[in-house]
Structure 1
Amino acid sequence: MKMIWKIFIVFLIIIIVGGLGSKYYYEVNTKPVVTDGEIESIEIEIPNGSSTEKIASILEENNLIRNKNIFRIVSKIKGTDGKLKAGLYEIKATMTPEEILDKLVEGGTNSSAVKFTIPEGYTIEEMAERLSDEKIVDKDKFLSLTDDVEKFAEDYEFLQDVPDNMNLEGYLFPQTYEVYPDTSEEDIIRKMLDEFNKIYVKKLKGESFKQNLNINELVTLASIVERESKMDEERPKIAEVFYNRLEMEMKLQSCATVQYILGERKANLSIADTQIDSVYNTYMNVGLPPTPIASPGLDSIEATINPEEHDYIYFVLKKDESGKHFFTDDYDEFLSVKNSN
């Protein structure tokens, strides 16, 4: 009996020592290769289709991690297996495996990648034109896909408020993108929808908005703010002008909505332009258009979520070329400034 007890004690000690040893081994190998001092970044390339094992080997060969097996364990614990992206990376030996994994999930650059920029306030038609000119998409195919909201609605919750028979206008987020030369039109559209989804999750999902606007209505108003604003600091004030008009059931009379109908950004609209029979004509119809008129940027979306409170219902561009607007709640004052321009 004493012998069995001694064996048990020895076995328990081995387990404890082994556990402590494993813990120490893990902690040591999850530290940076270099723990102090300044050190330059090392450029590495992660090839397409690389597994976590392959990536760990590349990092170990470049002395950026202490142990490739521990790196794979950390990746499993973080749940990043299968999420590490190919590309060129600048990595320092002072980074921990977790920090390196975060960088690899975010994605690097690629020498064969193609970059394109979609400015704030672009319409889908303008996007298609630019991407076609840059040989990135087939214009007709791109436009055809953006007309098919149902194709994407199941994967993107924010599209559920888009009225039937409308397109993805307003939801292809404007920013700089990087794609491979053979990336399909659908994948490019999804990439842009993914970026809008990040804004949706952070800023819009589950939130209540002024005048109980739904997501589509909020993005529609944000798109008008985008096209009417020249200065970022004025966006919240312009948003409130339109909110005030909506509350009064006053026509928005946004030139940008008529420009959307015309398909061109005319500096001055004619009387005939403002009388075009269209659901997008806010000179003829009370309330918001059925869908956005362009893709609003983050500043316009945030301005529409949090407008600046005031009683103004008119604004007009100042004649001093500052890009700023004059705001008022007095129609005669509005006309006076407008006619002096």
Structure 2
Amino acid sequence: MYIKKILVAIALTGLVAAAFFANFVYKTMLKPNTAFNNETAYIYVSTNATYAEVRSQLEPLLIDMRTFDVLAEQKKYVSNIKAGKYAISKGMNNNDIINSIRSKNLPVTVSFNNQSVLEKLAGRISLQIEADSLDLIKAMTDSEFLKENNFNEATALGMYLPNSYEFFWNTDAEAFRDRMLKEYKRFWTDNRKAKAKSIGLSQKEVITLASIVYEESKQASEQPRIAGVYMNRLKIGMPLQADPTLKFAAYQLPKYQNTVIKRVLNVHKEIDSPYNTYKYRGLPPGLIAMPDISAIDAVLNHEKHKYLYFAANAQKLGYHKFAKTLSQHNANAREYQRYLTAQGINK
């Protein structure tokens, strides 16, 4: 009888211990532990982040941080932090959360449009991935990289084609730059290379001319015609006389810093710069801004015509009037100049 009581007591103790352990396992691993109302929350884990830094992001999102700490220790997450962007879904338990932030790094969509200089591009990219703008600029302007890939300071911006791309958030500066080089090479298909060769321009010259075309007109439907005008001028040795290149040249001078040139004047045509296409024939040394892909393709597929001139259309702003003769062009230009004067735009 005494032995039977002992066995019963041992059994009861085991049951209590098992119940306690089961409750501990449930609370630690299986009980939902999210404290937010949205369907999904995100955390961004930096390269070389500590568990304390990850914990500080998780704390506002979880109901019971203590049980998460216990499981994170048991699963050795505290000493094996992975950088990246991670999702935590509403109702997840601690086990699910640790599995997610340890192995399910999410890609982010990185987008950029027509940035005028590398510094602005770096600033925009730094808002979308972990790499900061200083590291990005250093990678983008690295002289060894530029030389190895046949770029220079004047043409480097042309390597970055405005679009949307998928990256992991924890991408570093050099990895971003190297990926953009791959995208640049992928863009230049055999077909595009053949078209560039057929019109007598290198890839970088195509992008340089495209940057001028894009600055002249944001209308994709009009860009092939404008490109055709510039190709006609190049063929006969006529200066490009592109107003956007004058603005670019002016903005390099201290006098024009922090100003906006709305009207190109004769004084701008006297600026001594290789980007002054009124003073110097041919293409400038590099692009004046980042062109859309539509403008690059507009150069490669430029319209074949006999126009040598174009002027902004005062009746249809954003578009242009084209002319084959200088007299017709001068009439179109005077019409637009009168419009600018009427609007009080004198510089």
Q: Aligned equivalents of 2:322 and 2:161: distance in 1? A: 29
Q: Deviations over 1:174-219 (max 9, x none)?
A: 1123333321122222222222211112443355535522222122
After superposition, residues 280-319 of structure 1 pair within 5 angstroms as 280-319=275-314
Q: Identify which of 202, 218, 223 aligns with 1:230.
A: 218
- Asked whether the equivalents of residues 128 and 137 of structure 1 are also in contact (C-alpha less than 8 Å), the reply is no
User: Is 1:250 the counterpart of 2:238 in the alignment?
Assistant: yes
Q: CA deviation at 1:146?
A: 2.1
Q: Deviations over 1:273-326 (max 9, x none)?
A: 332221122122110011222232222122111211111111111112442110
In structure 1, the partner of 2:15 is none
Q: Aligned equivalents of 1:304 and 1:180: distance in 2? A: 33
Q: CA deviation at 1:265?
A: 5.9
Over the residues paired in the alignment, what is the CA RMSD in angstroms? Answer: 2.9
TM-score (ref. length: structure 2) = 0.58
Q: CA deviation at 1:112?
A: 4.5
User: Is 1:201 the counterpart of 2:201 in the alignment?
Assistant: no
Q: Aligned equivalents of 2:293 and 2:190: distance in 1? A: 11
User: Is 1:118 the counterpart of 2:106 in the alignment?
Assistant: no
TM-score (ref. length: structure 1) = 0.59
Q: Deviations over 1:41-84 (max 9, x none)?
A: xxxxxxxxxxxxxxxxxxxxxxxxxxxxxxxxxxxxxxxxxxxx
User: Is 1:221 the counterpart of 2:215 in the alignment?
Assistant: no
Q: Aligned equivalents of 2:260 and 2:188: distance in 1? A: 28
User: Is 1:190 the counterpart of 2:155 in the alignment?
Assistant: no
Q: Aligned equivalents of 1:319 and 1:180: distance in 2? A: 47
In structure 2, the partner of 1:68 is none
In structure 2, the partner of 1:74 is none
CA distance 1:206–1:125, change in 2 (3 Å): same
Q: Aligned equivalents of 1:217 and 1:234: distance in 2? A: 20
Unaligned regions of 5+ residues in structure 2, if any? 1-84, 88-103, 253-258, 337-347
CA distance 1:220–1:247, change in 2 (3 Å): same
- Asked whether the equivalents of residues 173 and 193 of structure 1 are also in contact (C-alpha less than 8 Å), the reply is no
Q: How many residues are matched?
A: 229
CA distance 1:186–1:273, change in 2 (3 Å): farther
In structure 1, the partner of 2:165 is 177
Q: Aligned equivalents of 1:149 and 1:215: distance in 2? A: 20
Q: Aligned equivalents of 2:191 and 2:163: distance in 1? A: 17
Unaligned regions of 5+ residues in structure 1, if any? 1-85, 89-109
User: Once structures 1 and 2 are overlaid, which stretch shifts more, 205-214 or 328-337?
Assistant: 205-214
The residue identity in structure 2 corresponding to 1:231 is Q
The residue identity in structure 2 corresponding to 1:143 is I
